[in-house]
Structure 1
Amino acid sequence: MADRVHGHLIGRAFLLGAACGGRSMAGPAAVALTAGPVPARGLSGTRARRLIAASALAELVADKLPGVPSRLAPPALAARLVTAGASAAALARRDGATAALPVLAAVSGALAAGVAGARWRAWAGRGALPPVAAAVLEDLAVVGAAAAAVRP
């Protein structure tokens, strides 16, 4: 039974990382917004949850703006990998599990989804879809992955 639960956590961590590969703040927002009661001070408090959620919403809007750098540019990709790993570590902690394998799964998911998302947007940019429509479809996939990842 423990192996199955652990495998389930690794799959959820991969999905959480994939969400971060699409939108870097999706994973932290999903974990923060589904956490149980927390102290009202520090980074785990209500203000921090609101800040993380606001950052995720701002990223959803900013992603649609022209001139946004590639998600595969080193700083953007590094941010996605870091938020994926941190989100998976928080998810593992919440589930009472060690974080090493979930973090590895999340970073792998972020890398895979980052590349897939960049290819999706490049394909859509060749006239297959209007850019905003492609971005909104990607947003839906990101939110779906993040929501599935934080379900117990």
Structure 2
Amino acid sequence: MTDHVLLRAAVLGAAAGARSATPLAALAQRRGGPVRILATLAAAGELVVDKLPGTPSRLEPGPLGGRIVLGALAGAVLARRAGAGVVAPALIAAVAAVAASHAGASWRAYASRSGFGTPGALAEDAAAVIAASIAAEGALVHSS
């Protein structure tokens, strides 16, 4: 297994910690049909729901568990496509999802306290989408 796959899995896991459906949507962009459409709709819906006042904290057991599972799934899908074993990338992505969930919650709390709640959330959206897109396409590491 290459370090490139592990790095990409970690980035996808971190993106899942920010926006759980985004990594799978990024991976689905290479596919056509219903998978791509459903994954994109799920990710877009999450971008909206995340801003609603009744949305639970990402650190509650249910939302955190979902981020862990979806991050691990994204890492496994990526590894499978690369012809690598899935266990290590899935575990790395899951750990990255936990770390990014905590970092994102801290970021959002700071942004809200500073009066930049919505812009902070939008910045996190952008970071998650960009990171997941780059990791899904394999543009993180230049291969010689």
Identity %, equivalent residues? 45
Corresponding residue number in structure 1 for 2:29: 33
Q: Deviations over 1:6-44 (max 9, x none)?
A: 111100000000000000101110111124xxxxxxxxx
Q: 8 Å contact 2:104–2:124 — kept in the other structure?
A: yes
Residue 55 of structure 1: how far off its partner (Å): 0.5
Match of 1:92 among 43, 56, 79: 79
Aligned length: 138
Matches of 2:30 and 2:115 in 1, distance apart? 33
Give TM-score scaled by structure 1 length. Answer: 0.87
Structure 2 residue runs without a partner (length 5+): 139-144
Matches of 1:48 and 1:95 in 2, distance apart? 19
Give TM-score scaled by structure 2 length. Answer: 0.91
Matches of 2:11 and 2:33 in 1, distance apart? 25
Q: Deviations over 1:76-108 (max 9, x none)?
A: 000000001111111111101101111111011
Corresponding residue number in structure 2 for 1:120: 107
Residue 135 of structure 1: how far off its partner (Å): 0.4
- Residues 19-30 of structure 1: pairs in structure 2 closer than 5 A: 19-30=15-26
Matches of 1:144 and 1:112 in 2, distance apart? 18
Matches of 1:97 and 1:150 in 2, distance apart? 15
Match of 1:63 among 32, 50, 54: 50
Larger Rg: 1
Match of 1:11 among 7, 11, 14: 7
Residue 48 of structure 1: how far off its partner (Å): 2.1
Match of 1:53 among 15, 40, 43: 40
Q: Which runs of 4+ in 1 moved over 3 A?
A: none
Matches of 2:109 and 2:30 in 1, distance apart? 33
Q: Which amino acid in 1 is paired with 2:133?
A: A
Instruction: Determine whether 1:81 maps to 2:68.
Output: yes
Q: 8 Å contact 2:20–2:66 — kept in the other structure?
A: yes
Corresponding residue number in structure 2 for 1:39: none
CA RMSD of aligned residues (A): 1.2
